[in-house]
Amino acid sequence: MTTATPPTGTGPLGKREARLAWGLLFPTIAIVSAVVILPLLAIFWISFKPIGLADLRPPAPVVREALRGADDDLRLEYRVRNSSQSEAIGGVTLSDVLPEGVEMVRADERCVFDGPAFTCDLGDLDGGARDEIEIFLTLTGDEGAVEQAAESSEPEVTGSGNNILTNFDFTLENFAKIFDGREFWGVMGVTLFYTVFGTIGALLFGLFAAMLLNKEFKGQGVLRGLYLFPYVAPVIAVAFAWIILFDPFSGSANALLIQMGVTESAINFFGERPLALIMVTVFEIWRYFPLSFLFILARMQSIDTDMYE
């Protein structure tokens, strides 16, 4: 008699379930990647690029067409410019078709005609450069129809430029500017103060709240809900409530302090240094201590009561 042994490894059913699980998880991964990870990677990519606001628009040739003059001076004008002020565009070409009712008399030597269609080779355009093409015409049809046809036609302009956002030229220039800036260490100090004291304060207040609610007493559920209010309330609403409460002109906090004799004049809590930083940090402690309170209380209530004995 043979002894039955359980199969080892993942069977066909387990593999199908695994594929189904990954298939159901894929939309979540894709959404998180699109919303969080990809913008974060784009920020890191741009941080190593020596770019300014003007470089956010990729270099491309821009053309503007206009029918000008009359009779013997009738001409089509094409004004081409480089949209970038710093990057050059190479191999710029302009293509269009003459409107019906006109014939070409003379044109720029850079243009080649094939019937009514023509192509002009403008070469390279430096950063911020402009160029102009003029084609002189003679009128053979109705002038109004010619103007309407000229306005409705869209010339095509092409060219290739080096897009600083997508090329592989990287530099540490941005980081050097940050570390050499006068405001860097001040901003770093504010960030460390806000982060360290905000986190420690939220943990300490969360611990105190968890210790208070770790005992059974009447009204415990109501008090727990009140403790969660700062975290679940809309941040815009509570921020405005704090601003109104501590307003130096009409705030209740200043009125109470003056009536109690703590201060002789109103205090601008959010307009003076370093008081503004302290108030913002206290606000964040008040906002996020319920989160640490929930986790700490859950761990405290999971401890076996026999351990206390």
Confidence of residue 5 (pLDDT cuts 50, 70, 90): low
Q: What is the mean pLDDT of residues 188-214?
A: 92
Q: What is the reported pLDDT for 226? A: 87
Q: What is the reported pLDDT for 205? A: 93
Write the single-letter amino acid at 219. G
* Higher per-residue pLDDT: 159 or 139: 159
- List of residues 6+ apart from 263 with CB closer than 8 A: 254, 257
Q: Exposure pattern of 60-91 as b/e (b: 16+ CB <10 Å)?
A: bbebebebeeeeeebbbebebbbbbeebbbee
- pLDDT tens digits for range 242-258: 999 998 888 888 888 88
Q: Return the minimum-mean-pLDDT range out of 196-205, 206-215, 219-228.
A: 219-228
Confidence of residue 206 (pLDDT cuts 50, 70, 90): very high
Residue 14 has pLDDT above 90, yes or no: no
Rounded CA separation 81/104 (Å): 24
Q: What is the DSSP string of 147-204?
A: HHHHHH---EEEEEE--TTTSS---SHHHHHHHHSTTHHHHHHHHHHHHHHHHHHHHH
Confidence of residue 192 (pLDDT cuts 50, 70, 90): very high
Residue 308 has pLDDT above 70, yes or no: no
- pLDDT tens digits for range 16-46: 888 888 888 888 888 988 888 888 888 888 8
Residue 155 has pLDDT above 60, yes or no: yes
Q: What is the reported pLDDT for 9? A: 67
Residue 197 has pLDDT above 90, yes or no: yes
- pLDDT tens digits for range 65-107: 887 777 667 888 889 998 887 788 888 998 988 877 778 888 8
* Higher per-residue pLDDT: 8 or 227: 227
Predicted TM-score (pTM) above 0.85 = no
**Ordered domains of the chain (ranges, CATH):** 56-161 (2.60.40.290), 178-307 (1.10.3720.10)
